[in-house]
Structure 1
Amino acid sequence: MLSRVRGELYLLLATLCAAVGWLASKFVLQEISSGAFIAGRFILASLLLLPFCYRRLRALPSILLVKSALVGLLLAFSIHIWVYSVRITNNLSEGAFIMSLAMIIAPLTRWLILNVRPNRAFWLSLPVAILGMVLLTLKNGWHIDISQWYFLLSSFLLSIHFVLNKHLSDEIDSYSSICIQMLFVGMTGILLFLVEEKTNSNISEPVIIWFLVSVFIATSLRYLVQSLGQYKVKPEVSSLIMILEPVWTLILSLIILGESFGMQKLLGAAAIVLSLVTYILVSKKYP
């Protein structure tokens, strides 16, 4: 019982860390280029996680290293698009709710990739998710901001990553896999940094602090406690707790960034959360 409660607290902390990461990224990208941010954040995070999996990494067969690297490259594509979306968006919390749709999109991508048909929960939750997306984006008629399109694309790529990473998890432990994938995400950041404009050399102290927050709290600590929590808690409970990430992001955005979030958008966000809850609970009853 105590172990389960501790696991739930780990997951709750992970959602808070992830929400803080949204704000940290928004502040950092005001002064640091996307490539430099991705390279610094994910390479440092990978090095911080290395002590937890160093011995297991040394014992991994080459084929698993290659598989993890390829899945990491897919994650990199999603993150690069997400970073660009965060840079240009005027409403961070909307992006957080759109990104949370990856859990709903994943059964569809699994169907396309592995030919595994979605269960009943997917078809029940999909219309609710679509309704939520419509309410989030409907502004004086049908209008979707360019950043929302990019968030949706990033969410789709992340759903593919979910499917392939789940398949990979049967062969490699989570710490080793995360460490390798973060390293390769960071390496793609270096490549982007080499082709884009140089980062402003006069980086303010608050931005440096936010960058460190994104590395230590939003990335390293987040994935560490998330892995610990998921190990101790049933998958359906874990998924329910992880839904809190966009909710925390909304609250922090309202308080710190002063974002506006009217009743229509609030209903849209609630519909997306409802679709995720429906998917998890019905999946549990009808696997």
Structure 2
Amino acid sequence: MLPERRGDLFILSATLLASAGWLFSKEAIQGLPPAGFVGWRFVLAALLLLPFCYRQLLAIPRTNLLKAAAVGLVMALNLIFWIQAVSHSKGIGEGAFIMSLSMLMVPPLAWLLFKERPTRQFWLALPIAVTGLLLLTMGSGLSLSAGQLLFLLASLTMALYFNLNSRFARRIPPMALTCIQLAVTGVMNLLYSVLLESWPDQVPPHIWGWFAASVLLATSLRFVCQSMGQKHSNVANAAIIMMLEPVWTVLISVFWYQEPMPMQKIIGCLLILLALLSYRSRNLLAWYRNRRALSINKRG
């Protein structure tokens, strides 16, 4: 198998594991406090990564460590909003599409924080995405449910995380950076849990099964698949495949939770996908032109 095809399969596996992670999390918090679940999930995931990057961590300057940890605080806030949104929602499909809008929130935040003007593709994609969001969330009137509002806040903080991470953590090796930020996210969620949540006296055994699946499959194995995929897959292919995560999540939610998907919501989901595709169209065209130029040069 060609390395590029193998990379695409790894990215596809990562999207399937990520969508399954929504199910694992939703089931696990039926018996565990939400922030406590996220806290232990990310702390254990960081410990699993530690043997593979501890030498890198020792070599990182203290200033860069502090920057990575500070960005990890934004990630922690994002996960607090996300898991609370999951706990307040009956299904998970609609939330996955709302979360996918974080990629369209990155440019306006970069404009606000770093004076980087959004591209023309962003302005073309924005009205499509807003229309899709309205169809997806405004079912019976002009009011957002608690879960939808929390998903929007999670999407916004995810966009903030992407902006900060791309600027302040570039000099840190990816695995070491992931380990630091997973650890910070886990510790902050555990502190939140200690202060504001109460743990049950007894946790059913099957809940620990969902928890283990979240740590081992949806976090650790997903990270490995995504890293290996990005190593071999080209950027355009990876970007398109990663958009499938909310689609898998919707299918899981409809099958597992019987989440209703009337035509209005289906059209809203399709519009959000269309907005994401149109926003990434510039990268896709550049990739296509490069591939075409390479093939012409090889023939010549």
Note the C-alpha offset of 1:159: 0.4
Does 1:246 find its partner at 2:231? no
User: Which position in structure 1 is the counterpart of 2:232?
Assistant: 232
Indicate if the aligned counterparts of 1:120 and 1:282 stay in contact, CA closer than 8 A: no
Q: Is there any run of 5+ residues in structure 1 with no aligned partner, and where?
A: none
User: Which position in structure 1 is the counterpart of 2:181?
Assistant: 181
The residue type equivalent to 1:80 in the other structure is I
Indicate if the aligned counterparts of 1:20 and 1:249 stay in contact, CA closer than 8 A: yes
Indicate if the aligned counterparts of 1:121 and 1:286 stay in contact, CA closer than 8 A: no
> What's the RMSD between the two structures over aligned residues?
1.5
Question: Residue 170 of structure 1: SS of its match in structure 2?
Answer: coil
Note the C-alpha offset of 1:169: 4.5
User: Which position in structure 2 is the counterpart of 1:54?
Assistant: 54
Indicate if the aligned counterparts of 1:74 and 1:157 stay in contact, CA closer than 8 A: yes
Equivalent runs, 1:49-198 vs 2, <5 Å: 49-198=49-198
Note the C-alpha offset of 1:134: 0.6
Indicate if the aligned counterparts of 1:122 and 1:279 stay in contact, CA closer than 8 A: yes
Indicate if the aligned counterparts of 1:46 and 1:180 stay in contact, CA closer than 8 A: yes
Q: Distance in 1 between matches of 2:35 and 2:150?
A: 17
Indicate if the aligned counterparts of 1:119 and 1:286 stay in contact, CA closer than 8 A: no
Indicate if the aligned counterparts of 2:39 and 2:185 stay in contact, CA closer than 8 A: yes
Q: Distance in 1 between matches of 2:54 and 2:131?
A: 45
Identity rate, percent: 40
Indicate if the aligned counterparts of 1:100 and 1:246 stay in contact, CA closer than 8 A: yes
Note the C-alpha offset of 1:16: 0.6
- For residues 181-201 of structure 1, give each alpha carbon's deviation from its aligned partner in whole angstroms, at most 9, with x where no partner exists: 000001102211221233113
Indicate if the aligned counterparts of 2:64 and 2:169 stay in contact, CA closer than 8 A: no
Note the C-alpha offset of 1:38: 1.6
Question: Residue 280 of structure 2: SS of its match in structure 1?
Answer: helix
Question: Residue 118 of structure 1: SS of its match in structure 2?
Answer: coil
User: Which position in structure 2 is the counterpart of 1:22?
Assistant: 22
Report the count of equivalent residues: 287
Question: Residue 53 of structure 1: SS of its match in structure 2?
Answer: helix
Note the C-alpha offset of 1:168: 3.4
- For residues 48-82 of structure 1, give each alpha carbon's deviation from its aligned partner in whole angstroms, at most 9, with x where no partner exists: 11122121111111111101100100000010010
**Whose Rg is larger?**
2
Indicate if the aligned counterparts of 1:121 and 1:283 stay in contact, CA closer than 8 A: no
Q: Distance in 1 between matches of 2:7 and 2:120?
A: 29
Q: Is there any run of 5+ residues in structure 2 with no aligned partner, and where?
A: 288-300
Please list every run of at least 4 consecutive aligned residues from structure 1 whose deviation after the TM superposition is greater than 3 angstroms: 283-287
Note the C-alpha offset of 1:109: 0.9
Say which is worse superposed, 274-283 or 17-26, in terms of deviation.
Answer: 274-283
Q: Distance in 2 between matches of 1:120 and 1:183?
A: 38
Q: Distance in 2 between matches of 1:232 and 1:111?
A: 32
Q: Distance in 2 between matches of 1:168 and 1:233?
A: 25
User: Which position in structure 2 is the counterpart of 1:281?
Assistant: 281
